Amino acid sequence: MKGNIEMISKTKLASLVLLAAVCLSLASHPAQAQTKDIVDTAVSVGTFNTLAAALKAADLIGTLKGAGPFTVFAPTDEAFAKLPKGTLDALMKDPAKLKSILLYHVVSGKVMAGDVVKLNSAKSVQGSAISIKVAGGKVTVDNANVLKTDIMASNGVIHVIDQVILPK
Protein backbone atom coordinates (compact mmCIF):
# COMPACT_ATOMS: atom_id res chain seq x y z
CA MET A 1 0.00 0.00 0.00
CA LYS A 2 2.80 2.41 0.92
CA GLY A 3 4.45 1.64 -2.46
CA ASN A 4 1.25 2.54 -4.31
CA ILE A 5 0.96 5.87 -2.47
CA GLU A 6 4.61 6.69 -3.23
CA MET A 7 4.03 5.75 -6.90
CA ILE A 8 0.94 7.99 -7.11
CA SER A 9 2.79 10.85 -5.41
CA LYS A 10 5.75 10.48 -7.80
CA THR A 11 3.33 10.43 -10.76
CA LYS A 12 1.58 13.58 -9.52
CA LEU A 13 4.93 15.29 -8.92
CA ALA A 14 6.14 14.39 -12.42
CA SER A 15 2.87 15.71 -13.88
CA LEU A 16 3.20 18.98 -11.99
CA VAL A 17 6.82 19.41 -13.12
CA LEU A 18 5.78 18.77 -16.74
CA LEU A 19 2.88 21.22 -16.46
CA ALA A 20 5.17 23.87 -14.98
CA ALA A 21 7.66 23.36 -17.80
CA VAL A 22 4.93 23.76 -20.43
CA CYS A 23 3.64 26.93 -18.73
CA LEU A 24 7.14 28.43 -18.58
CA SER A 25 7.70 27.55 -22.24
CA LEU A 26 4.45 29.24 -23.26
CA ALA A 27 5.23 32.29 -21.14
CA SER A 28 8.60 32.70 -22.84
CA HIS A 29 7.00 32.39 -26.32
CA PRO A 30 3.74 34.37 -26.22
CA ALA A 31 1.29 33.86 -29.07
CA GLN A 32 2.33 36.01 -31.99
CA ALA A 33 -0.10 38.41 -33.58
CA GLN A 34 -1.19 37.43 -37.06
CA THR A 35 1.39 38.94 -39.40
CA LYS A 36 -0.15 37.98 -42.75
CA ASP A 37 -2.62 40.36 -44.37
CA ILE A 38 -5.92 39.19 -45.85
CA VAL A 39 -4.44 38.38 -49.26
CA ASP A 40 -1.46 36.42 -47.90
CA THR A 41 -3.68 34.63 -45.38
CA ALA A 42 -6.13 33.59 -48.11
CA VAL A 43 -3.32 32.39 -50.37
CA SER A 44 -1.74 30.37 -47.54
CA VAL A 45 -5.03 28.54 -46.89
CA GLY A 46 -4.81 27.05 -50.39
CA THR A 47 -8.51 27.05 -51.33
CA PHE A 48 -8.68 30.63 -52.60
CA ASN A 49 -6.49 30.46 -55.72
CA THR A 50 -9.29 31.70 -57.99
CA LEU A 51 -10.08 34.54 -55.61
CA ALA A 52 -6.40 35.54 -55.55
CA ALA A 53 -6.26 35.52 -59.36
CA ALA A 54 -9.47 37.57 -59.53
CA LEU A 55 -8.12 40.11 -57.01
CA LYS A 56 -5.03 40.48 -59.18
CA ALA A 57 -7.08 40.87 -62.39
CA ALA A 58 -9.28 43.51 -60.69
CA ASP A 59 -6.24 45.35 -59.29
CA LEU A 60 -7.41 44.86 -55.68
CA ILE A 61 -4.34 43.18 -54.20
CA GLY A 62 -2.96 46.50 -52.92
CA THR A 63 -6.31 47.46 -51.42
CA LEU A 64 -6.68 44.24 -49.43
CA LYS A 65 -3.05 44.42 -48.34
CA GLY A 66 -3.82 47.89 -46.95
CA ALA A 67 -4.38 48.87 -43.33
CA GLY A 68 -8.06 47.97 -43.22
CA PRO A 69 -9.53 46.54 -41.21
CA PHE A 70 -11.64 44.53 -43.64
CA THR A 71 -14.07 41.66 -43.37
CA VAL A 72 -14.03 39.45 -46.45
CA PHE A 73 -16.71 36.89 -47.28
CA ALA A 74 -14.33 34.79 -49.36
CA PRO A 75 -15.65 32.35 -51.96
CA THR A 76 -13.59 29.18 -52.31
CA ASP A 77 -12.25 27.80 -55.58
CA GLU A 78 -15.26 25.45 -55.56
CA ALA A 79 -17.59 28.45 -55.23
CA PHE A 80 -16.09 30.05 -58.34
CA ALA A 81 -16.41 26.70 -60.16
CA LYS A 82 -20.20 26.85 -59.56
CA LEU A 83 -20.52 29.93 -61.76
CA PRO A 84 -22.10 29.26 -65.16
CA LYS A 85 -19.60 28.17 -67.80
CA GLY A 86 -17.69 31.10 -69.28
CA THR A 87 -18.75 33.56 -66.55
CA LEU A 88 -15.43 33.65 -64.75
CA ASP A 89 -13.48 34.01 -68.00
CA ALA A 90 -15.72 36.90 -69.04
CA LEU A 91 -15.31 38.59 -65.66
CA MET A 92 -11.54 38.24 -65.78
CA LYS A 93 -11.63 40.19 -69.06
CA ASP A 94 -13.84 42.92 -67.53
CA PRO A 95 -11.81 44.31 -64.61
CA ALA A 96 -14.38 47.01 -63.71
CA LYS A 97 -17.24 44.53 -63.36
CA LEU A 98 -14.98 42.01 -61.58
CA LYS A 99 -13.84 44.72 -59.15
CA SER A 100 -17.45 45.62 -58.34
CA ILE A 101 -18.32 41.98 -57.64
CA LEU A 102 -15.24 41.39 -55.50
CA LEU A 103 -15.81 44.57 -53.48
CA TYR A 104 -19.32 43.32 -52.82
CA HIS A 105 -17.66 40.53 -50.78
CA VAL A 106 -15.86 43.06 -48.55
CA VAL A 107 -17.20 44.94 -45.53
CA SER A 108 -15.28 47.78 -43.92
CA GLY A 109 -14.15 46.97 -40.38
CA LYS A 110 -13.45 43.71 -38.59
CA VAL A 111 -16.80 41.93 -38.15
CA MET A 112 -16.30 38.72 -36.22
CA ALA A 113 -18.74 35.80 -36.53
CA GLY A 114 -20.31 36.62 -33.18
CA ASP A 115 -21.21 40.05 -34.56
CA VAL A 116 -22.27 38.85 -38.02
CA VAL A 117 -25.04 36.68 -36.56
CA LYS A 118 -26.56 39.75 -34.88
CA LEU A 119 -26.95 41.56 -38.23
CA ASN A 120 -29.66 41.45 -40.91
CA SER A 121 -27.38 43.07 -43.46
CA ALA A 122 -23.98 44.68 -43.85
CA LYS A 123 -22.96 47.44 -46.25
CA SER A 124 -20.29 46.21 -48.63
CA VAL A 125 -17.37 48.35 -49.77
CA GLN A 126 -19.00 48.17 -53.23
CA GLY A 127 -21.93 50.12 -51.76
CA SER A 128 -24.76 47.58 -51.79
CA ALA A 129 -26.05 45.80 -48.71
CA ILE A 130 -25.34 42.11 -48.24
CA SER A 131 -28.29 40.29 -46.63
CA ILE A 132 -27.46 38.13 -43.62
CA LYS A 133 -29.72 35.39 -42.30
CA VAL A 134 -29.37 32.98 -39.41
CA ALA A 135 -31.68 29.96 -39.47
CA GLY A 136 -31.35 26.45 -38.11
CA GLY A 137 -27.87 27.16 -36.81
CA LYS A 138 -26.64 28.14 -40.27
CA VAL A 139 -25.57 31.57 -41.46
CA THR A 140 -26.01 32.79 -45.02
CA VAL A 141 -24.84 35.95 -46.72
CA ASP A 142 -27.17 36.59 -49.62
CA ASN A 143 -27.73 32.91 -50.48
CA ALA A 144 -24.18 31.70 -49.81
CA ASN A 145 -23.58 29.44 -46.84
CA VAL A 146 -20.88 30.53 -44.41
CA LEU A 147 -18.60 27.49 -44.12
CA LYS A 148 -15.88 28.75 -41.79
CA THR A 149 -15.51 31.91 -39.76
CA ASP A 150 -12.97 34.13 -38.07
CA ILE A 151 -9.83 33.37 -40.07
CA MET A 152 -7.71 36.16 -38.65
CA ALA A 153 -5.39 38.38 -40.67
CA SER A 154 -3.28 41.35 -39.65
CA ASN A 155 -5.73 43.73 -41.35
CA GLY A 156 -9.05 42.00 -40.78
CA VAL A 157 -10.92 38.74 -40.86
CA ILE A 158 -12.06 36.21 -43.47
CA HIS A 159 -15.30 34.22 -43.44
CA VAL A 160 -15.43 31.40 -46.00
CA ILE A 161 -18.52 31.09 -48.21
CA ASP A 162 -19.64 28.46 -50.72
CA GLN A 163 -20.87 30.76 -53.53
CA VAL A 164 -19.84 33.91 -55.31
CA ILE A 165 -22.35 36.54 -54.23
CA LEU A 166 -23.52 39.16 -56.71
CA PRO A 167 -24.75 42.70 -56.08
CA LYS A 168 -28.40 43.33 -56.97
Bridge partners, residue 151, by sequence: 158
CATH ID of 38-161, from 2.30.180.10, 2.60.450.10, 3.40.50.970, 3.40.190.10: 2.30.180.10
pLDDT of residue 23: 34
3-state secondary structure of 76: coil
Q: What is the mean pLDDT of each run of 10 residues along the chain (168 residues)?
A: 44 34 34 72 91 94 92 96 95 96 96 93 96 93 95 95 94
Domain ranges within the chain, ordered by starting residue: 1-31, 38-161
pLDDT of residue 34: 67
The CB-side HSE value for 134 (13 A sphere, CA atoms) comes to 10
- Confidence (pTM): 0.78
pLDDT of residue 30: 35
Bridge partners, residue 132, by sequence: 141
Question: How far is residue 75's CA from residue 145's CA, in Å, rounded to a whole number?
Answer: 10
